[in-house]
Structure 1
Amino acid sequence: MTAQTEAAQAPDLLYSEAEEDLRSAVRSLLADRADAPTVIAAVESDTPYDLRLWESLAAGIGAAGLLVPEKLGGQGATHREAAVVLEELGRSVVPAPYLTSAVVATEILLALAEDGGPAAALLGELAEGRRTAVLALPFASAPADAAASTTGTLERTVTGVADAAAADVLLVPTAEGLYAVEANGAGVAVRPLVPLDLTRPLATVTLTGATGTLLAEAGPAAEAVGRGLLAGAGLLASEQLGLAEWCLTETVRYTRERHQFNRPVGSFQSLKHRMAQLWLEVVSARAAARNAADALAAGSPDVPLAVAVAQAYCSEVAVHAAEECVQLHGGIGMTWEHPAHLYLKRAKADSIAYGTAGRHREAVAGLVELPAP
């Protein structure tokens, strides 16, 4: 292999000008409509989702259709752009069904929409931001669980479905295939749960006598669900990256302003070491998350490995960053009025979403043919 070929295949971890422009637009929207007091107030209410914010993000900016080709009504962008949106959503821990609808459900429908039909029609509605869809599987489902998910019938109860309360359509895998079921239709009950992370509500979905539209037979459905879960796990790393970056930035800012013994607490050597270590972890997490997003965008054969590495690393960095944020903020970090607890809860919840770090390490071990730890 020549040096030119190697350079052509090397992942591009840098942000393009278009990606930075998208980041600026999303960050500006969230700063205006989803600052910390707004998010705290929202999660303390019965309806944490801001439908006007979602409309602005999904349709106004066009974020909901980033992964969808223009011929199907989307923006024709890639996973790299979707990853930038998730970084910003992670920085704000906004209750929004972007990961579940605009990434996982959209990726599933993309796998089934090549020949048109109901999957393509639903995909167009999701891309325009007019509807949302979520996969009716537990939020903890890993990509390796895709084959096992296509079992049972349309009569079922599924616990721990993320963003089900905000969904218009449920994608339900069964032994017959994948069905699209109207969330407010007859025979469908969505019962909210009390999750650790109030910014991403969970629910129990019970289907009793429900009917739906068959999108694909069992074989193609299992492949499509696997593709959706893989994309979800890969881009979840970008959300975790954004969360960790906010925690580090806010902690550095606070320790510069907070004084003890007439000195900024951030000048104490022990705290400097802790924040320097966290900075190293966040930089490494950025590389892992960007590599996963780039591999997904390029359709690389190394996608499973890139995703597994990103999730195995980024989930633990996000938890560590959030823990340090709470601890280094001292007493104020332990209060409900400060948003640090929202970041810790989101990081903890994300650490088991789409597979734990342990399961992803096992996946890495299998892919590189090494004994699992």
Structure 2
Amino acid sequence: MEFRFTEEQQMIRETAAGFLADCSTSAAVREAMATESGHDLSLWRQLCDDLYLHAITLPESMGGMGLGYVELVAVMEQMGRYLACSPFFATVGQALPALQLAGGEAATPWLERLLAGETAGLAWIGREAPGCDAVTATCTPTADGYRISGDYRLVVDGHTAGLLVLAARLPDSRGREGVHLFVVDAEHAGLHRQWTPTLDQTRHLARVQVDGLELPAEACLTGDGQGGAILEQVLQLATVALAAEQVGVAQQVQDLAVQYTKEREQFGRPIASFQAIKHKAADMMLRTEVARSACYYAACVADEAWQGGALADELSEAAAIAKSYCSEAALLNAGEALQMHGGVGFTWEYDVHLYFKRAKASELMLGNVSEHREALARLLLDEGEQA
């Protein structure tokens, strides 16, 4: 299969790249990551008001762009390349698909808030486990709605989001069974948020504690038996978006390393002329291109899933392939870039260490390489048994 961006998709990609090259510079990233919010609000406003990128997947009937996941992946790749300190992934890559897939008409007021530029986050992780097994918060039905209690970890931009989508399960339920998705204003009483400093300073995570949070019935976005399947689909879509960001990281550290080796001289000539350095650069390029191919294929499958197309059933497989390849490419390329920079690669003055930290943190987010390859093995074995 030959993949080519359409003229419109290429224009979106180039627009995002040009904007981020100007606005998400090394100095801007370092300034934003040092703040508690972890992002520059003016950058987010420009992404929304000037470029309208936050509305890529929102339907035209609501005032959105009405596009799909190929376009979103094109933008996310540039987000990774320029280490954009922005709530874009949390809002557009995680919370927004949860609202669109789960909410129906009930989600319209919340989607309108996102269209206006408000930020959002998705909270589901209570313990280390894949998919719905990570949900430990409980939702107990009451006379007027639900009472939610639980402790959410690793919520991307959860401490600054304007609204939160919470996953919780009915008491004594397991797996997909009994999982519901709720939407709540982040300032609601009974909800406590705290920034959790981590390895990757360019993406801030938070802990969200919910103790007896009372919500009306309309805050529940999912009906009986739907929440678990919807949450898993949302996580697969988010995995594809994160894989695209990793492709951008892999590409940028490759470019930084090659540029440095052209400038650094040893024994009277640039170290880029040494055969060992050429081999490293060639391996980096190969990893990046393989990862990009896997990611773009996953984007096409995600687009089908988003629109209810024929390839929707292949989303879990495509997401696992993309995330495993892209995680490995970003992390190995970042490690090679550090080596090619020599001792200065570890110093604060160079940006390579920032990309290395993003690569490592994103490798662990939404399933690491081993977990996704195990998932692929299970899929293949199940298909073999059925055949």
1:157 to 134, 148, 151: 151
Match of 2:174 in 1: none
Matched-pair contact (CA < 8 Å) for 1:79–1:297: yes
SS in 1 for 2:153: strand
**TM-score, normalised relative to structure 1:** 0.90
Matches within 5 A, 1:333-344: 333-344=345-356
1:101–1:183 Cα change, 3 Å: same
Match of 2:377 in 1: 365
Listed one character per residue, the Cα deviations across residues 215-239 of structure 1 (whole Å, up to 9, x for unaligned) are 2235222222111101011121110
2 CA distance for matches of 1:341 and 1:206? 32
Q: In the TM superposition, what is the alpha-carbon distance from 1:367 to its structure 2 partner?
A: 1.6
Match of 1:3 in 2: none
Matched pairs, number: 358
2 CA distance for matches of 1:109 and 1:147? 20
1:289 to 295, 299, 315: 295
Matches within 5 A, 1:228-267: 228-267=234-273
Matched-pair contact (CA < 8 Å) for 2:125–2:135: no
Q: In the TM superposition, what is the alpha-carbon distance from 1:151 to its structure 2 partner?
A: 5.3
2 CA distance for matches of 1:129 and 1:232? 22
Match of 1:66 in 2: 56
Q: Supply the AA of the counterpart residue of 1:257.
A: E
1:181 to 155, 159, 184: 184
Matches within 5 A, 1:130-209: 130-138=117-125, 144-146=130-132, 149=135, 152-153=138-139, 154-176=148-170, 177-209=180-212
Match of 1:302 in 2: 314
Matched-pair contact (CA < 8 Å) for 1:289–1:314: yes
Match of 1:5 in 2: none
2 CA distance for matches of 1:339 and 1:350? 17
Q: In the TM superposition, what is the alpha-carbon distance from 1:148 to its structure 2 partner?
A: 5.5
Identity %: 32
1:148–1:191 Cα change, 3 Å: closer
Greater Cα shift, 216-225 or 338-347: 216-225
* 1:102 pairs with 2:100: no
Matched-pair contact (CA < 8 Å) for 1:255–1:265: yes
Q: In the TM superposition, what is the alpha-carbon distance from 1:149 to its structure 2 partner?
A: 2.4
2:28 to 38, 59, 72: 38
Match of 1:320 in 2: 332
SS in 2 for 1:191: strand
Q: In the TM superposition, what is the alpha-carbon distance from 1:210 to its structure 2 partner?
A: 2.6
SS in 2 for 1:232: helix
* Structure 1, unpaired ranges of 5+: 1-9
1:140–1:150 Cα change, 3 Å: closer
Match of 2:144 in 1: none
Q: In the TM superposition, what is the alpha-carbon distance from 1:298 to its structure 2 partner?
A: 2.1
Q: In the TM superposition, what is the alpha-carbon distance from 1:195 to its structure 2 partner?
A: 0.6
Q: Supply the AA of the counterpart residue of 1:164.
A: G
1:265–1:129 Cα change, 3 Å: farther
Match of 1:81 in 2: 71
Task: Determine which structure has greater relative contact order: mean sequence separation of CA pairs < 8 Å that are 6+ residues apart, divided by chain length.
Answer: 1
2 CA distance for matches of 1:318 and 1:43? 20
**TM-score, normalised relative to structure 2:** 0.87
Q: In the TM superposition, what is the alpha-carbon distance from 1:157 to its structure 2 partner?
A: 1.3
* Structure 2, unpaired ranges of 5+: 140-147, 171-179, 306-310
Match of 2:175 in 1: none
Matched-pair contact (CA < 8 Å) for 1:319–1:348: yes
SS in 1 for 2:188: coil
2 CA distance for matches of 1:368 and 1:312? 16
SS in 1 for 2:222: strand
Q: In the TM superposition, what is the alpha-carbon distance from 1:370 to its structure 2 partner?
A: 7.1
1 CA distance for matches of 2:155 and 2:75? 22
Q: Supply the AA of the counterpart residue of 2:260.
A: Y
Matched-pair contact (CA < 8 Å) for 1:178–1:216: yes
* 1:17 pairs with 2:17: no
Q: Supply the AA of the counterpart residue of 1:121.
A: P
2:285 to 279, 290, 295: 279
Matched-pair contact (CA < 8 Å) for 2:59–2:67: yes
1 CA distance for matches of 2:3 and 2:88? 23
Q: Supply the AA of the counterpart residue of 1:130.
A: G
Matched-pair contact (CA < 8 Å) for 2:334–2:359: yes
Q: In the TM superposition, what is the alpha-carbon distance from 1:267 to its structure 2 partner?
A: 0.5
SS in 2 for 1:108: helix
Q: In the TM superposition, what is the alpha-carbon distance from 1:191 to its structure 2 partner?
A: 0.9
Listed one character per residue, the Cα deviations across residues 118-174 of structure 1 (whole Å, up to 9, x for unaligned) are x12212322x242122111239977x5226527513111112211102211111112
Matched-pair contact (CA < 8 Å) for 2:94–2:234: yes
Matched-pair contact (CA < 8 Å) for 2:183–2:220: yes
Matched-pair contact (CA < 8 Å) for 1:67–1:76: yes
Listed one character per residue, the Cα deviations across residues 198-250 of structure 1 (whole Å, up to 9, x for unaligned) are 11111111112333422223522222211110101112111000000001111
Matched-pair contact (CA < 8 Å) for 2:37–2:160: no
Matched-pair contact (CA < 8 Å) for 2:123–2:155: yes
Q: Supply the AA of the counterpart residue of 1:211.
A: E
